Homo-oligomer: A and B are copies of this chain.
Amino acid sequence: MDIVYMDNNATTKVDPVVLDAMLPYFTELYGNASSMHSFGGAVGRDIAAAREKLAGLINAEPGEIIFTSCGTESDSTAIYAAIRSNPDKRHIITSRVEHPAVKNLYEHLAKTGYRVTWVPVDKEGVLDLDFLRHHLTDNTALVSIMWANNESGVIFPIAKIADMAREKGIVFHSDAVQAVGKVPVDVRQTGLDMLSLSGHKIHGPKGVGALYVRKGAKFSPFMIGGHQERGRRGGTENSASIVGLGRASELAKGHLREMDTRVRALRDRLEQGLLQAIPNALLNGEKDLRLPNTTNISFEYVEGEAILLMMDQFGICASSGSACTSGSLEPSHVLRAMGVPFTAAHGSIRFSLSVYNTEAEVDFVVEKLPPIIERLRQMSPFWKGAGCRLQ
């Protein structure tokens, strides 16, 4: 069965061009980039070229890029670097809607003596900037706020937060895993200190990510080991995946316009089609300040998991809450932070598109989903009550 893949915020297909770029590094150019022999040394040069390509995507200098194994490692690296560089400051700030890579680490730090301020969002998922401003103190070691939310797609005002943090001399890190490749991300213009990104969200391979660290920013390594990445991240360089991430970065840069036009139009067509065809369907997230590829819709009185299972029979792939919290019966912490009612949060579905999606796929989903929702509601004891109430 052909699949209709609309789960690109969870992970993406490796672009065949990226795979082609990676292939030589497995069985031919397999040397260790740190070796003295030219067989390995050549790989070192290819890694340098990949670093330049990635830097070009976010307007960084190559020396500001540290390759890591994933977005989670980039986040851990950034957060530990900030607090180890400011050992006397015991207050850290983040939002209520961060990815588990930041959220769970902050919760861990809260248990080890850090005071954590969780910045709220409003019902449209927009960050409370005044709250954030009022909680910046001389004791604040770090502000970590994601560039765009993985579930709602809402984009946060990173440049403004960077200004606020810089004024107070506070380190500012942003998890931009969902933003990079979907909207322009310019570290120079924004002025933040550290930024996380991941290969497999931009049609690169899984198992590789990067951390931007502003030149001059204090840093201490998370993964302590060999001299790789100029002593900033130990471990043999993952040459195939790094070269793949470099190639994916070039592609992503070239796709930004299409993301903002064709993919955005596809997303809008999907969203409007579903909202028009299905009663008691609510959009989650501020309509305009969103990633162009993401829509998150709550279908009241049904279970997201049941919707996913029935869509699965048609090969339609999407998510209920974040893929990273699947397996849990709790409603998404992001939707709860937005105050989405329990009955709606449980029935929320996130569709996340890519440049590979087509209008035909969108129309297929708009055709197949309404009868699925209707059938599930027929089976729901809550729906009849809602029907009565709505009459």
A205-B34 in contact (CB<8A):
no
Binds B, one of A235-243, A288-296, A365-373: A235-243
Minimum distance in angstroms from A15 CB to a CB of chain B: 8
Binds B, one of A69-77, A127-135, A157-165, A178-186: A69-77
A35-B239 in contact (CB<8A):
no
CB within 8 Å of B: which A87-132 residues? 99-101, 104-105, 108
CB within 8 Å of B: which A214-240 residues? 223-228, 234-240
B320-A224 in contact (CB<8A):
no
Query: How far, in whole Å, are A381 and B99 apart by their CA atoms in the complex?
Result: 62
Q: Annotate A25-39 by CB proximity to B: 1 below 8 A, 0 otherwise.
A: 011001110111111
Of A15, A36, A227, most buried by chain B (CB within 10 Å of CB) is: A36
B325-A226 in contact (CB<8A):
yes
B206-A324 in contact (CB<8A):
no
A326-B236 in contact (CB<8A):
no
- Please indicate the chain B residues that have their CB under 8 angstroms from the CB of A72 in the complex: 223, 225-226, 234-236
Q: Does residue A318 face the partner (Cβ distance < 8 Å to B)? A: yes
- Please indicate the chain B residues that have their CB under 8 angstroms from the CB of A16 in the complex: 27
A30-B7 in contact (CB<8A):
no
Q: Annotate A7-31 by CB proximity to B: 1 below 8 A, 0 otherwise.
A: 1001111111011001100110011
Q: Does residue A40 face the partner (Cβ distance < 8 Å to B)? A: yes
- Please indicate the chain B residues that have their CB under 8 angstroms from the CB of A30 in the complex: 11-14
A236-B11 in contact (CB<8A):
yes
A35-B238 in contact (CB<8A):
no
Q: Does residue A169 face the partner (Cβ distance < 8 Å to B)? A: no
Q: Does residue A391 face the partner (Cβ distance < 8 Å to B)? A: no
Minimum distance in angstroms from A43 CB to a CB of chain B: 9
In the complex, what residue of chain B is closest to A238 when comparing beta carbons? B207
A40-B7 in contact (CB<8A):
yes
Q: Does residue A312 face the partner (Cβ distance < 8 Å to B)? A: yes
Q: Does residue A60 face the partner (Cβ distance < 8 Å to B)? A: no
Q: Does residue A61 face the partner (Cβ distance < 8 Å to B)? A: no
Q: Does residue A319 face the partner (Cβ distance < 8 Å to B)? A: yes
Minimum distance in angstroms from A323 CB to a CB of chain B: 5
A227-B31 in contact given A39-B3, A234-B101, A237-B206 (Cβ < 8 Å):
no
In the complex, what residue of chain B is closest to A204 when comparing beta carbons? B26
Q: Does residue A328 face the partner (Cβ distance < 8 Å to B)? A: yes
Of A5, A241, A315, most buried by chain B (CB within 10 Å of CB) is: A241
Of A16, A38, A76, A223, most buried by chain B (CB within 10 Å of CB) is: A223
A36-B320 in contact given A26-B205, A227-B328 (Cβ < 8 Å):
yes
Minimum distance in angstroms from A232 CB to a CB of chain B: 12
In the complex, what residue of chain B is closest to A70 when comparing beta carbons? B235
- Please indicate the chain B residues that have their CB under 8 angstroms from the CB of A69 in the complex: 69-70, 73, 207, 235, 238
A39-B309 in contact (CB<8A):
no
- Please indicate the chain B residues that have their CB under 8 angstroms from the CB of A23 in the complex: 19
B32-A11 in contact (CB<8A):
yes
A224-B19 in contact given A36-B320, A73-B235 (Cβ < 8 Å):
no
Choose among B104, B208, B225, B240 the residue that contacts A76 (Cβ–Cβ < 8 A): B225
- Please indicate the chain B residues that have their CB under 8 angstroms from the CB of A34 in the complex: 10, 323-324, 326-327
Query: How far, in whole Å, are A13 and B29 apart by their CA atoms in the complex?
Result: 8
Q: Does residue A253 face the partner (Cβ distance < 8 Å to B)? A: no
- Please indicate the chain B residues that have their CB under 8 angstroms from the CB of A146 in the complex: none
Minimum distance in angstroms from A320 CB to a CB of chain B: 6
Q: Does residue A308 face the partner (Cβ distance < 8 Å to B)? A: yes
Query: How far, in whole Å, are A105 and B32 apart by their CA atoms in the complex?
Result: 22
11 A-B residue pairs with Cβ-Cβ distance under 8 Å, sorted by A, are A7-B37, A7-B40, A14-B27, A18-B26, A37-B316, A39-B315, A72-B236, A73-B223, A99-B225, A206-B238, A225-B324
